[in-house]
Structure formats: structure tokens, C-alpha cells
């Protein structure tokens, strides 16, 4: 019986992917169990009675404010035990984020649509949440060659809050709404509020005002939202990671989960916009020696040229990796390559007919 080679290769690839996922899951589970076993030893010295703990753990409905039974006696642990316990808790985060895969994918689609319409993405948060928004936004220009206005982070208390806590800034409701007005938020924009506890007044005020101005709105929270808080939002991403190692310290699991979510949204949207070719960042800005070297290596790999030829191509392309690739592949000058990319919506695969994927050697 004849074997369809294409089907065989596809099936074999799928088998290896499945095998890898199963093996990875088993290793994560084993590591989690070992660390949790170490953590459970701490419970032997918990001084808070069980019924008292139960009462204390439900005083606050916010997941991020509850006490974590696995770390109730962490102050009695050795440094190595602390590492094991914290690492065990951190292992919860990726799986919590995975439960929100469909919502995150929807956020990517919304962001892409807004960008294509000339709109912007805003992150709005306070404290750690605000800093994470600013961090993700600030990485987009060097990584994807975007205008700094395209993705922006807004933090309660302004720039001083990036390095020093601005106490009470998250409670000033009018400032959240005012930021939306001062940034001229409109119908082509997407505003994502970040609130680990799900209740930050500054964030919810910003979201309400953004919706009034016609923007798409969403929230990232590591606690279930209060009743009615999600009404009017286009999307709610809720990776519930459970109580923190140190009660209420949302710079830990909640912060990690938030960073994973934000990374995925912007990375996914930028890939959809053609900011990568395969997994190569072809729209990067070579603002330092490391990035200049990376630019040259990308052109060498994709075009099959020498370093010297890559440098010459980049010079002719005004340092644009994407333009250099199209110039070399299609035998075009810079202006012609730019026009081809414009017609292709900035996507290399559309600009170069039958472009093969850039597979690592």
C-alpha cells in the first residue's frame, strides 16, 4: 500500500508535538509535587487553628487578599525551603494563564484590529500592575519597530510611581477618567485595565470613561470581578492564581501571570501585523550593538548572504531588516521594496510569492 509522504510527515510531527507536551506536563507535575511536599512540611508548624484559618481566609472575597495555607509558617523555613515553596506556587501561574487562552486570543484580535485602524493600545494600572503595563509598552518600539504612541502604559501617580509607591493614587477615581481624556482616547483605541485584585477604583474609572468615548475595553485581573464590574467590557482575562506566598503581595504570582498575559497580547498582535518573519523580529530597531548584530544575522540567515553583503543590504535599506530582505529576495531597490511591502500590508510572506519559512539551519 502506497504511503502519502506528506500525510506521514504531518502525522509524525503531530506525534512528536504530543509526546513533547505530555513529557513536559509530567516533568512539571513531578517538580510541583516535590516542591509541594517540601512545602507541606511547613504546615506541621502552623500555629493558626484550622477553623480560625478558614474564617480568616474568607474574610476578603478577593483571591489576592486571602491567606495561603501552604505558606502560613514560611517564616520558620530555611532559605532552601523558601525557594521550594515559592517555586511550587509559581508553577501554578502558567496553568492559570492557560485557562484564559480564548480570552487572550480575543484580546490579540481586538488589538490587531485597532492597530490596523490606526488606533492604539493603552494599559492602565496602579502599583505593580501599572509598572507591568509600562514595561510591556516600552519594549514594543525596540522589539517591533513601533511608534511609542502605538502601545502606551498609564500608571496611577504618573512617572514617579514607576520607582516609588504613590500611596493612595489608585483610589483617586477622577484621575483614571481624566487620563482617558488627556490621551484623546477614541473609537479606534483599545484600553486594558490591569487590577490584580479586580477592584482598583482608578482602573475601573478609566475603563468606564474609555467605554463612554467609544474605545474597546478589557481587564486583566487575578481575582474574580465584583458583581457588575465586567458589564460593558469587551473582554475579561482572569487568571486566578490563588493567594500569594506573602498575603496580598501581588508582585508575586499575580504579577507573573499579568506579565505573561501582556506579553502574549502584544507579541501576538505584532506577529499578526507582520512584525516578524517566522520567529525573527524583522521590524526591530537596531539602536545598540547587540541589535545591529542581530539585524545582520537575520539578513544572513534569511537571504543566504555573507556578513559583508548583509551590512551593505542594510545600509541600502536604511537599516530596515524587512526592507533589506525584500530587496534581496525580489531584486528590488529600496523604494520598490517599500512599495511592495506597503501593498502587502507590511507582511514579508505576502510581499514575496511562495516565501519559504525561515527554518533554523
Catalytic residues: 139, 170
C-alpha cell at 58: 474568607
| Other beta carbons within 10 Å of 267 | 18
Among the listed residues 208, 147, 152, the one whose alpha carbon sits nearest the alpha carbon of residue 177: 208
User: Distance between CA atoms of 81 and 201, rounded to whole angstroms?
Assistant: 37
C-alpha cell at 335: 523604494
The angle subtended at Cα 261 by Cα 257 and Cα 267, nearest 5°, is: 140
| Other beta carbons within 10 Å of 141 | 18
CA distances to 32, 141, 309, 312, 341 from 318, rounded to whole Å, are 50, 17, 14, 10, 15
Cross-strand bridge partners of residue 273 = none
Sign of CA dihedral 33, 34, 35, 40: positive
DSSP 288: S
List all residues 6 or more positions away from 51 whose beta carbon is below 8 Å from its beta carbon. none
> Phi/psi at 8 (nearest 5 deg)?
-60, -45
Cross-strand bridge partners of residue 124 = 154, 193
User: Distance between CA atoms of 259 and 128, rounded to whole angstroms?
Assistant: 10
- In three-state secondary structure terms, 57 is helix
User: Distance between CA atoms of 188 and 346, rounded to whole angstroms?
Assistant: 20
The angle subtended at Cα 274 by Cα 269 and Cα 276, nearest 5°, is: 95
- The helix (run of H) or strand (run of E) holding residue 33 is helix 5-43
User: Distance between CA atoms of 114 and 108, rounded to whole angstroms?
Assistant: 10
Cross-strand bridge partners of residue 282 = none
CA 143 to chain centre: 13
Amino acid at each position: 500500500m502506497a504511503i502519502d509522504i506528506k500525510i506521514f510527515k504531518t502525522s509524525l510531527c503531530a506525534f512528536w508535538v504530543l509526546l513533547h507536551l505530555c513529557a513536559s506536563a509530567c516533568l512539571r507535575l513531578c517538580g510541583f509535587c516535590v516542591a509541594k511536599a517540601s512545602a507541606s512540611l511547613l504546615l506541621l508548624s502552623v500555629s493558626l487553628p484550622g477553623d480560625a484559618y478558614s474564617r480568616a481566609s474568607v474574610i476578603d472575597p478577593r483571591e489576592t487578599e486571602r491567606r495561603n495555607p501552604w505558606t502560613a509558617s514560611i517564616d520558620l523555613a530555611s532559605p532552601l525551603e523558601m525557594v521550594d515553596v515559592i517555586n511550587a506556587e509559581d508553577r501554578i501561574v502558567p496553568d492559570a494563564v492557560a485557562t484564559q487562552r480564548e480570552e487572550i486570543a480575543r484580546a490579540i484580535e481586538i488589538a490587531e484590529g485597532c492597530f490596523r485602524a490606526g488606533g492604539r493600545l493603552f494599559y492602565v494600572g496602579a502599583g505593580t500592575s501599572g509598572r507591568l503595563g509600562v514595561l510591556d509598552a516600552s519594549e514594543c518600539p525596540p522589539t517591533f519597530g513601533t511608534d511609542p504612541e502605538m502601545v502606551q502604559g498609564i500608571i496611577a501617580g504618573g512617572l514617579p510611581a514607576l520607582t516609588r509607591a504613590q500611596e493612595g493614587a489608585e483610589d483617586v477615581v477622577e484621575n483614571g477618567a481624566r487620563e482617558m481624556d488627556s490621551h484623546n482616547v477614541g473609537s479606534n483605541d483599545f484600553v486594558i485595565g490591569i487590577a490584580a485584585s479586580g477592584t482598583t477604583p482608578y482602573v475601573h474609572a478609566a475603563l468606564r470613561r474609555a467605554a463612554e468615548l467609544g474605545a474597546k475595553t478589557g481587564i486583566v485581573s487575578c481575582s474574580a470581578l465584583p458583581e457588575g464590574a465586567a458589564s460593558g467590557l469587551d473582554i475579561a482575562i482572569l487568571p486566578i492564581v490563588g493567594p500569594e506566598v506573602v498575603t496580598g503581595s501581588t508582585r508575586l504570582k499575580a504579577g507573573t501571570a499579568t506579565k505573561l498575559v501582556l506579553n502574549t497580547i502584544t507579541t501576538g498582535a505584532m506577529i499578526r501585523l507582520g512584525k516578524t518573519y517566522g520567529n525573527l523580529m524583522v521590524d526591530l530597531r537596531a539602536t545598540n550593538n547587540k541589535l545591529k548584530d542581530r539585524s545582520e544575522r537575520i539578513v544572513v540567515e534569511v537571504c543566504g548572504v555573507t556578513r559583508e553583503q548583509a551590512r551593505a543590504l542594510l545600509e541600502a535599506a536604511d537599516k530596515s531588516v524587512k526592507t533589506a530582505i525584500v530587496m534581496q529576495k525580489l531584486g528590488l531597490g529600496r523604494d520598490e521594496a517599500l512599495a511592495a511591502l506597503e501593498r502587502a500590508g507590511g507582511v514579508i510572506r505576502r510581499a514575496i510569492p511562495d516565501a519559504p519559512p525561515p527554518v533554523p539551519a
